[in-house]
Amino acid sequence: MGKLDGKVAVVTGAGRGLGRAIALLFAAEGADVAVVDLSAQGAADTAAEIASRGRRSLGLVGDVSDEGQVRHAFERVAAELGEVDILVNNAGIDTTSEIESMPVEMWDEMLRVNLRSVFLCTRAVLPSMRRRRSGRIINIASQLAQKGAATMAHYSAAKAGVIGFTRSLAVEVAADGVLVNAIAPGPLNTDLWRALPDSWRARKLTEVPLGRPGAVEEVAPTALLLASADGSYYLGATLNPNGGDVMV
């Protein structure tokens, strides 16, 4: 028996990195999992891996910051896998720029992808969860929402918004049986991390007591905790697998 037997989960940005690790772990614990990603190949690869483990899967290509695409994606999930029990809002981007030279377009894109998407995907699953009086929503934030970082004010602001959204929604829907929480990982050894400037990454690691980026497999179990019966008394929380970068 898996911890998520009989559950239907959606993980956004699951074509690679942390989202993929979470999707595969959920499948290993018995969930059927829909993968939503901008990359058709990434979505297909993760969905195929889930299917190879004996679970139903669905690979969807979509921009989760676009209202119409989100609506279409979640309609397909409901039609092909069933009503969503678990939503993991993981999709995101990161870039670097000092505020003084940051184009407005970079600021707007960051909030659109990293914050607006959380609202849109959450709104898509809430009616069903509230009607059934059951559901888990897990939002991937960042430790930079808690401490900030030079040249990443737009990213930190968006992720701080995710934490604020999580807390407010948690209060709003708790009485309906829907538990909403966040995870704020530290630096993880993913494509997004490796795409950052070398100097930025080197400086960042001097701040992390463990002295290294985490592996996605070290963070995915936190999502499993919040998605399963083991997480039944967590509400509005932000869990911090971050190598000691922020200690709260």
- Just list the catalytic residues: 155
Output the CA–CA distances (angstroms, integers) from residue 31 to 137, 178, 199, 224, in the order listed: 15, 18, 40, 11
Helix (H) or strand (E) holding 132: helix 117-132
Identify which of 82, 115, 89 has the alpha carbon closest to the alpha carbon of residue 37.
89
The answer for residues whose C-beta is within 8 angstroms of residue 85's C-beta and 6 or more apart is 7, 8, 9, 31, 129, 134, 135, 136
Alpha-carbon distance 237 to 139, whole Å?
10
Identify which of 245, 226, 133, 246 has the alpha carbon closest to the alpha carbon of residue 182.
226
